[in-house]
Amino acid sequence: MLMRQCLMTLRVARSQMLVQSTGKPQSHIMQRLYSSNPPAIGIVDYDVVKKLASEPQKLLIDVREPEELRETGQIPASINIPLGVVSQELAASEQLFKSKYGREKPKPDTEIIFHCKIGKRSLKAAEAAAALGYKNLKNYEGSWLDWAEREGLPK
């Protein structure tokens, strides 16, 4: 909810700035904001995620709530950044990110793979990361349910 409010506030502020600078009506400006080409969000599967433990240059982010992880566990090599704070955390300083998550903050071109329980929240997180300028974004569409089924873990 907080992320949605932040994005709406940003969109409104940008449109107001553009209206002031161009003098054009807001409807034209809003169309312009949505017509830009955001980076495509790729889809990955179990086989790609399984290899991530040996690919430290890539980042796997689990956007489920901490309580969910306590109930089910998590995919090895993933870090937990709940959906509600993913924008805030990806926008944090490099030092703060490293102190919280024990690894370097991703660069704009770092491959970041998001996952959740079924793949819907992770897609929202990838969209939020795209809005912050990250370009190499992927969504593990089957997410935890696919992982748990293949690994014989509780869902």
Closest CA to 110 of 138, 80, 136: 136
Annotate 107-118 with DSSP letters as a single string.
PTTS-EEEE-SS
Catalytic residue among 75, 81, 83, 116: 116
Confirm whether 116 is a catalytic residue.
Answer: yes
Which alpha helices (H) appear in the chain, and where do they start and end? Answer: 2-22, 26-34, 46-50, 66-72, 86-90, 94-101, 120-131, 143-151
List residues with catalytic annotation: 116
